Amino acid sequence: MDAGGDLGSQAEVPPENSVSGLRMVENSQSSARFGRVPISRVVTASMGAALIMSVMLNVLLAHRIRSVDLARETKLAAQLLKAGVAVPPIPAKGLDGHQEVLSYDKTGQPTVLYVFTPACVWCARNLENFKTLVDKEGAQFRFLGVSLADQGLTEYVTKNELKLPVYRACRPKP
């Protein structure tokens, strides 16, 4: 130090401004440094590492989700009926409440199942087309209605004058 107190191009920062025991030194370009690594480089490197880790984690999670979706689709596809395969008998209740089993092997006609719910908007939109089909093809096919919901079923059948047997589907017990 010279008599005027000039340190040249560097000046020490008082101890209260030190971080983790390292003393901050201010040089002539006024950039704060921890030892020899500038703060901006430490922050940039940390943010870059966090970004890389985040991308890697997202790629890993996307791969896992895709694997789970594929497994679910495979399991579902195994449960779906294929063309030409007979539908297994369906336990159901008639509108009168009697338990029945809907089977197809003892009839001489192909069976058409109309699966619906009374509250279904698309079912309501297609109802007139379905009723026309029943009227025109009722002699060649056996038409059965199977509702997936009980609420409002009797009123729905009466209001829409369905000319086919209608049943409430019974869900299998787990």
Model confidence pLDDT, tens digit, residues 81-121: 777 777 788 889 998 888 988 887 777 888 888 999 999 99
Model confidence pLDDT, tens digit, residues 9-33: 444 545 554 444 445 555 444 445 4
Give the gyration radius of the chain's Cα atoms: 38
Distance CA 147, CA 94 (A): 10
Sheet holding 99-102, edge to edge: 99-102, 90-94, 166-169, 142-147, 111-116
Q: What is the pTM of this model?
A: 0.52
CATH for 90-169 (3.40.50.2300, 3.40.30.10, 3.10.20.70, 3.40.50.80): 3.40.30.10
Let me know: does 94 contact 167? Beta carbons within 8 Å: yes
Model confidence pLDDT, tens digit, residues 126-153: 999 999 999 999 899 999 999 998 888 9
Query: What are the tokens at 68?
Result: 């789970």
